[in-house]
Amino acid sequence: MAYRWINTLTDKDVTPHAAFMNRRQIMGGALAGIGLAGIAGRTSAAPEGLEPNSYEDITSYNNYYEFGTGKDDPARYADRLTIEPWTVQIDGLVDKPGAYGFDDIMQQMTIEERIYRFRCVEAWSMVVPWNGFELADLLNMAGVQSGAKYVSFETALRPDEMPGVAYNVLDWPYVEGLRLDEAMHPLTIMATGIYGKDIPKQNGAPLRLVVPWKYGYKSIKSVVRITLTDTQPPTSWNKANAGEYGFYSNVNPEVDHPRWSQASERVIGGGLFSKRIPTLMFNGYEAEVADLYAGMDVSKDI
């Protein structure tokens, strides 16, 4: 298992884990020159004044409806989830379908640190230092067949461990999907950690998808199945309300949710005084991903 640092923000956008644990403020220039190269040499600059997020922010404020609809429910109840052993079924249009053990997957992947913006459809945001590997590497390991056009994902469904699935909030299990070119994009990762530590259960242990230019609900947690298909797969929020949640779910500040504006976002970490900042097109990754949607009307194909 190899490690490599890749960063698409600047050192000002996130608190290093050691600094967080020691409660010390990083002095100016301490991280100069570390990990500032973006994907393929590109750097995605952060908005001015973006505040860093702590490990506590990231792990205590999030959505994982299988454990409840409150922001603190995942941190309160996700410890019930059994994650060892863990198996991911990879099937459909692949050369080597089968049940892949998590440990076996990790032995074959290159683990990187990716510091990404995270934008929720509910109009809040944070900056997260993920550890993980490119989804493309996992798909290539299974062997993508020429007829594949989409990738679908499925979350674990454990009624005995997940109290939230007793309620008909969504049609369980949670499912998501990407177009194949989105899945193979180098920004798309399967996260296995946060701040260099194993990803907590409330954040989607042991393996979750992260697609930083899309609203957060696309980044499906605790993945147990990945299927390559030639047809667009169903997605949970789209099934629940197609008029509010499209298949693509790209961050677009010019397209409001029917019930609130998406032009700005509330930055988590400031308590009652959390500030709002303008939301960026594709969550700030426009230079990297806009070409994926050439010829599409991103105001309609949401």
What is the pLDDT, as a whole number, of residue 8? 55
What is the pLDDT, as a whole number, of residue 46? 39
What is the pLDDT, as a whole number, of residue 35? 29
What is the pLDDT, as a whole number, of residue 96? 98
Long-range contacts of 98-107 (CB under 8 A, 24+ apart): 100/142, 102/206, 102/207, 105/138, 105/141, 105/207, 106/1, 106/192, 107/1
SS (H, E, C) the chain: CEEEECCCCCHHHCCCHHHHHHCCCCCCCCCCCCCCCCHHHCCCCCCCCCCCCCHHHHHHCCCCHHHCCCCCHHHHHHHHCCCCCCEEEEEECECCCEEEEHHHHHHHCEEEEEEEEEECCCCEEEEEEEEEEEHHHHHHHHCECCCCCEEEEEECCCCCCCHHHHCCCCCCCCEEEEEHHHHCCCCCEEEEEECCEECCHHHCCCCEEECCCECHHHCCCCEEEEEEECCCCCCHHHHHCCCCCCCCCECCCCCCECCECCCEEEECCCHHHCCEEECCHHHHCHHHHHHHHCCCCCCCCC
Residues 60, 78 contacting (CB under 8 angstroms): no
Between CA 96 and CA 223 the distance in angstroms is: 18
Residues 87, 101 contacting (CB under 8 angstroms): yes
For domain 2-290, give its CATH number from 3.90.420.10, 3.40.50.10890, 3.10.180.10, 3.30.1660.40.
Answer: 3.90.420.10
Between CA 233 and CA 91 the distance in angstroms is: 14
pTM metric for this prediction: 0.87
User: Could you list the mean pLDDT of each consecutive 10-residue stretch along the chain, which spans 302 residues?
Assistant: 52 51 32 29 41 88 97 98 98 98 98 96 96 98 98 98 97 98 98 96 98 98 98 98 97 97 94 87 98 96 94
What is the pLDDT, as a whole number, of residue 41? 31
What is the pLDDT, as a whole number, of residue 170? 98
- Annotated binding-site residues read 62, 65-66, 120, 155, 203, 208, 219-221
- Annotated binding-site residues for Mo-molybdopterin read 62, 65-66, 120, 155, 203, 208, 219-221
